[in-house]
Amino acid sequence: MPYGSRLAAMMTRRIGRECVYTPSARLALYLALRRWCRPGARVLMSPVNDDVILFVVLAAGLRPVQAPVSRWDGNIDPAAVPESTWRNVDAVLTTNLYGLPDRVVELRHRCDELGIPLIEDAAHAIGTHVDGQPIGTFGRVAAFSLSKHVAGMAGGFLAVDDARTRRELELLRDDLLTPRRLRADLATTLRPLARSAVRSLHLVRPVWRTMQRLRLLERDAFRMDLHAPRLASSARHAPSLTAYEPWVRVDLHGFRSRHGALVRGQLELRMALLDGDLARRRAGVSLLSGTTWASPALRDGAGDGPPPLFRVPLLVHDRDALLERLVNHGVVAGYVYDPPLDDYAGAEFVEPSPDPAPARWFAAHTLPADPLLARRIAGALTKERATTARPPIPAPPVFDTTTTTTTPPTPLGQ
Ligand SMILES: Cc1ncc(COP(=O)(O)O)c(C=O)c1O
């Protein structure tokens, strides 16, 4: 039996595609990029994304091309991508940021026209649908993360259409896995339990502050240090996961570990509880969508019922100060993708977006709220007198006047 096949079968039952188990979504994405893109290929992606994903794209030996995004949800705005860019990209990578769906129907259509692969990053979007169809079934391949939805702090999947491709990817994966270590498996199993104990004992604030003070956190800021000279010299070895490992492993050192039965068994138990988790997320999204801070992208989808988002993007002024004060209410909000990747990494490492303003605005004003903590977060923001931010009226386009219209928020499927 292939490694992780029981977990893969659980995911296949959920989305109806052939699935490959991976220890993380980042490894799944690396495999997808290596399988569908030749070295040097140009990949269109949103700059409002985890920096780890930028490093995965670089590790695969590819050039990340930053797309203009929707100011409402941070996902690629296909209509704002200049025709000259469309003609010069070799693949499209979605984000489905916080679980809000990318404009997948449009992107799929464009990719089909151009004969290039659509690669879906569905790490945030287990349970999100567009027109009744699950995110992760639109592209040639999709990556999922169990760390996000079942708090497993390990686990991911690649989903493809046929068994032959699945087997091919299993072999590629096996080549990249590092050997199992019992100590690391124990840590992976215990970490989520420790985290939920800290939460239920109301110790989030003291534990977080102590970790900050003792410099035990891997990131001092929203973005990790780029270490530009070292990153530039790693390019000589690309494609190579090993050369980029110092960046790719941040927040999840076991991202390529061949976890044993202990970790996988725990993930099976957690996955069996996924539907309950998604229902609780829907309830939290429903509560937060009704607040003044909710992005209009959320309200517009209310007709289909609330989606089970990973995080709810709330749009607020003074976001950074609010994040600090939320810690006093026992809430540590991660997954802030500020600044956008083109501002963070610069033109040496990425091709900048032709229209960076919407990404900058969205990245600077978004407070990603965990829907499982909806009541606590809404209460804390009320006490802190958080004020709602709305994007400025778009300035007239400055590059190609025929292609810069910003599409309105996509109505959400559930
Ligand atoms: C958008 C996105 N994709 C992929 C990943 C990688 O997921 P994993 O931690 O399972 O590797 C992350 C991690 O936070 C992410 O935010």
User: Is the pLDDT higher at 278 or at 201?
Assistant: 278
Closest approach atom of ligand 1 to CA 337? 16
Residue 395 has pLDDT above 60, yes or no: no
Cβ count within 10 A of residue 191: 15
**Burial degree of 180 (CB within 10 A; 0-12, 13-18, 19+):** middle
CA 237 to ligand 1 centroid distance, Å: 23
CA 184 to ligand 1 centroid distance, Å: 20
pLDDT digits (tens, 9 = 90+) for 349-358: 999 999 999 9
CA 361 to ligand 1 centroid distance, Å: 22
Query: Residue 297 is which amino acid?
Result: A
Q: Are 98 and 294 in contact (CB under 8 A)?
A: no
Closest approach atom of ligand 1 to CA 95? 1
The single residue listed with the structure tokens 């893109």 is 37
Q: What would the mean pLDDT of 262-276 be, rounded to a whole number? A: 95
Distance CA 377, CA 371 (A): 9
CA 116 to ligand 1 centroid distance, Å: 23
What integer pLDDT is reported at residue 394 of this predicted model? 63
Residue 19 has pLDDT above 90, yes or no: yes
Q: Which residues pair with 157 in a beta bridge?
A: 21, 144
CA 193 to ligand 1 centroid distance, Å: 20
Which residue ranges have their beta carbon within 6 Å of ligand 1? Answer: 24-26, 49-50, 52-53, 95, 121, 123-124, 145, 147, 156, 252, 255
pLDDT digits (tens, 9 = 90+) for 234-268: 999 999 999 999 999 999 999 999 999 999 999 99
**Length of the chain in residues, anyone?**
414
Closest approach atom of ligand 1 to CA 145? 10
CA 382 to ligand 1 centroid distance, Å: 30
Distance CA 355, CA 44 (A): 14
DSSP percent split of the chain into helix, strand, coil, nearest 5: 45, 10, 45
Buried b / exposed e over 154-170, threshold 16 CB at 10 Å, is bbbbbbbeeeebbeebb
Closest approach atom of ligand 1 to CA 29? 4
Contacts of 230 (CB under 8 A, 6+ apart): 246
Kindly report the average pLDDT of the chain as a whole number: 92
